[in-house]
Amino acid sequence: MNQADLIIFNAKVYTVDDNNPHAEAVAVRGNQIVFVGSNAEALAWRSEGARLVDGQGRTLLPGFIDSHYHLMWGSLRLGHVDLRGLRTLAEVQTAVSAYNTANPDLAWLVGRGLRYDVAGHEPLNRHHLDIIEKERPFLITAYDLHTIWANTVALEKAGLLHGKPNLSGSAAVVMGSDGLATGELREPPAYDPLLALLPEPDAAQKQALLKMGLAEAATFGITSIHNMDGDAAQAQLYADLEATGDLSLRVYIPYSIDPETPFAAVASEAVALRDQFQSDMVRGGCVKFFMDGVFESYSAVVVNDYPDQPGNFGEPIFDAEHFAAMATEADRLGLQIFVHACGDGAVRQVLDGYETAMQINGRRDSRHRVEHIELIHPDDLPRFAQLGVVASMQPLHAPQPNISPDVWPSRIRSADWDRAFAWRTFSDGGAMLAFGSDWPVVTQNPFLGLTAAVARQP
């Protein structure tokens, strides 16, 4: 007998079925859509006690899958002062002052989402932050999460005022002419000592902030995410939310690998995370690497040097041999691999590692991914289709025409613009594409991302 416990009728249903793209109603039984079609036919599926929802002529879409997302990171940042979209230091000072008034007892002040050009042509530094807040430690994360600026008190507390030697890759505590740190900290190895001092939210606070993040995702129709950071503890938090019925989207969570991760951990900890979390809502089975940083802080790895810093190509986080070995092991174990690579040099190194893994382990439907790909060398474009590698891109990362110029356009030569954020070129070349937001770097609103993907011109 055809029965459904939820029927949405009188709607404009977009089915994503080319043979039948539009409908009036949808019938659902349990977690399965059992019918899509006319109002009359859908209502015939009505069971006793079924929930009926009148769509009132509104559009009904399938849920969105955001393929690049930071649920925990984004949710925890909801408790920080919001600096997104601010363009001057005066605006930052006003926002922080209001936040101080509302939160007078905080030991640390943390701002989030700031642009790189907020101080005009001068790099933001600790003296700017000291003017805004001199007594308490104060730090601001850049919108892309790859740079943190700190005031003098914060640098002193973290032991960074006099620098931090022997940092790997493009990580840097930027030093001033006075021999002291400027307050600009590039990449996690530089700013992790600062973050380690922040008061850790307790379990109840984390749960509350996670629920705020989940509620925001629900308003945009996001029903699944590919999380881009994680470990077993984070996965357990999501599993706990699932157990209480509070996890409103599906989470695919990776095991994070950095250059210090022991080789054996791939076979033990990464596989254990996959095996432990295989529920309907929380699933492991992937690993995440970083190959470079971002163009904004000159930490993206490029084939040709930066035009405004001749001789600087960026430094890869993994050397080629190390990454190839780790990727080959992850591939052998059947894990999917995600790698952050913004610059064309980093993208090439990732593809080289994937090719090595394929040569050693044989080809399979691995769907390994390169995340971001803000610049691609023409020689490497066809390799995505040849290797079956997914190009995971975030349309809202591209400079937007309705926003005052950011620093990004000065980081590559004008002749190379046609190979920056080149998702149409990837698609035309037969590569698999996956779009996401990278929330909280930018808004998680998928409609804005889709608009940017379709409307952008090089």
At 209, the amino acid letter reads L
Per-residue pLDDT at 458: 66
- Give the integer Cα–Cα distance in Å for 379 and 376: 8
- What residues of the chain score a pLDDT lower than 50? 404-405
Does 108-195 match 203-455 in CATH topology? no
Beta strands (DSSP E) in 221-290 are: 222-227, 250-256, 282-290
- Nearest by Cα to 66 from 453, 438, 361: 438
Q: Is 104 exposed, middle or buried (0-12, 13-18, 19+ CB in 10 A)?
A: exposed
- Give the integer Cα–Cα distance in Å for 171 and 320: 18
Q: Say if CB 288 and CB 256 are below 8 A apart.
A: yes
Output the six-digit token pair for 281: 């809502």
- Give the integer Cα–Cα distance in Å for 213 and 74: 7
Cis peptide leading into residue 123 (ω within 30°): no
What residues contact residue 181 under an 8 Å CB cut-off, 6+ apart? 126, 155, 160, 161, 162, 163, 173, 174, 175
In CATH terms, the fold of domain 203-455 is: TIM Barrel (3.20.20)
Per-residue pLDDT at 152: 97
Q: Where are the domains of the chain?
A: 4-62, 108-195, 203-455
First to last CA, the chain: 55
At 159, the amino acid letter reads G
CA angle, residues 10, 16, 17, in degrees to nearest 5:
95
Neighbours of 282 (CB within 10 A): 24
What residues contact residue 314 under an 8 Å CB cut-off, 6+ apart? 170, 292, 293, 298, 299, 300, 301, 302, 306, 343, 345, 346
Per-residue pLDDT at 402: 52
Per-residue pLDDT at 294: 92
- Give the integer Cα–Cα distance in Å for 72 and 65: 17
Q: Residue 277 gets which letter from DSSP?
A: -
Per-residue pLDDT at 144: 80
Give bridge partners of residue 289 from the DSSP assignment.
339
Could you write out the DSSP letters of every residue in 31-93? TEEEEEE-HHHHHTTEEEEEEEEE-TT-EE-PPEEEEEE-HHHHHHHTTSEE-TT--SHHHHH
- Nearest by Cα to 152 from 117, 122, 173, 125: 125
Per-residue pLDDT tens digits for 70-106:
999 999 989 899 998 898 999 999 999 999 888 888 8
Q: Residue 347 gets which letter from DSSP?
A: H
Give bridge partners of residue 7 from the DSSP assignment.
27, 52
pTM: 0.85
In CATH terms, the fold of domain 4-62 is: Urease, subunit C; domain 1 (2.30.40)
CA angle, residues 411, 412, 415, in degrees to nearest 5:
155
- Give the integer Cα–Cα distance in Å for 347 and 19: 38
Per-residue pLDDT at 65: 98
The 10 Å CB-count burial string (b at 16+, else e) for 195-212 is eeeeeeeeeeebbebbee
Q: Is 176 exposed, middle or buried (0-12, 13-18, 19+ CB in 10 A)?
A: middle
Backbone phi and psi for residue 271, each to the nearest 5 degrees, phi listed first: -70, -35
- Give the integer Cα–Cα distance in Å for 432 and 79: 36
> 108-195 in CATH: which number?
3.10.310.70
Backbone phi and psi for residue 64, each to the nearest 5 degrees, phi listed first: -90, 145
Q: Residue 222 gets which letter from DSSP?
A: E
- Give the integer Cα–Cα distance in Å for 330 and 269: 11
Tokens 């805004």 appear where? 132
